[in-house]
Amino acid sequence: MFDRAWRLIDDREVPDPERRGVTWPKLAAALLLQGAIFRAARGLADHGARRAFTRMTGRWPGEEEHEAV
């Protein structure tokens, strides 16, 4: 998924932090994009697992939602 998203930004290879010739701006953009994709995937997986738990037990795991005042 990350490689596909990177191709929208640049048609060259994804910058690797271990390579000497990588520029700071491209490396920062690649790492920010990779982090955003990872965070979104993790959040969706977590929420899906909580919904499945709720369907099985009838209770939402973790803290209860606070009602709006």
How confident is the model over 17-41, as pLDDT tens digits?
A: 999 999 999 999 999 999 999 999 9
Number of domains in the chain: 1
Whether 5 is in a domain gets the answer no
pTM over 0.85: no
Q: Report which secondary-structure segment, H or E, holds 47.
A: helix 24-57
Residue 46 structural domain = 23-58
Closest Cα partner for 5 from 27, 28, 36?
36
Whether 14 is in a domain gets the answer no
Tell me, rounded to whole angstroms, the distance of Cα 20 from its chain centroid. 27
Mean pLDDT for 11-16 is 89
Whether 32 is in a domain gets the answer yes
